[in-house]
Chain A
């Protein structure tokens, strides 16, 4: 069966450009999460969706970061006016249940974003 799919796998952008990163979760999964992983560190939470509702965006580092999941399936993370400190791997994860359930999150392979 298909796992979580992310695209593109690699993205290089010039400082100041906007980028959009896509996540296709496991089919039927209710919850979707975005994480940011800097080199040599564990992933850090950015935002959480339950179906199409963005229930938690407390981890987004600035208002340049925006995420959406309009139909409760595919999600897009958009970064406007990119800065060099945005360079990282962006990971998407999904899980089968909703809020407060103890179910494992399954991760995609991420998008490696490099800002020049």
Chain B
């Protein structure tokens, strides 16, 4: 299938290493943040979320850190596996008109070397 993100920033890591993907968000009114993983030919897949009243949240092999002072998010993946290879997007959830809308960052391609 057609690749997602042909010209995206790329992070290349060795299998088994930890990965850190960073994201800057733009709207100080955003109160909820989500990380998505997108494989080629598929839709974004929910990984983990965090609300603005938290600064850290852990899932299975993943951790999200939120620094509201500098409007920065990061996604940490422990013991990265080949199946983690994909494009990763952060999204900020912002009150907009009659509801919320997600605004996506530009994405980072993660490549895992066996």
B interface, size bucket = 20 to 34
Inter-chain contact A31/B99, CB cutoff 8 Å = yes
Contact bitstring A49-84, B, C-beta under 8 A = 1, else 0: 010000110110000000000000000000000000
Assess whether B77 is interfacial by the CB under 8 Å rule: no
Given A31-B99, A55-B98, A107-B44, are A102 and B93 also a contact pair (CB < 8 Å)?
yes
Assess whether A113 is interfacial by the CB under 8 Å rule: no
User: Which of B46, B49, B51, B106 makes the CB contact (< 8 A) with A42?
Assistant: B106
Assess whether A21 is interfacial by the CB under 8 Å rule: no
Contact bitstring B92-107, A, C-beta under 8 A = 1, else 0: 0101111111111111
Inter-chain contact B100/A100, CB cutoff 8 Å = yes
With the chains together, A109 CA to B43 CA distance in Å? 4
Contact bitstring B76-103, A, C-beta under 8 A = 1, else 0: 0000000000000101010111111111
Q: Which residues of A contact B (CB under 8 A)?
A: 4, 6, 31, 33, 35, 39-45, 48, 50, 55-56, 58-59, 91, 93, 98-102, 104-110, 112
Which 3 residue pairs across A and B have the least CB separation, nearest first?
A: A42-B104, A55-B98, A107-B43
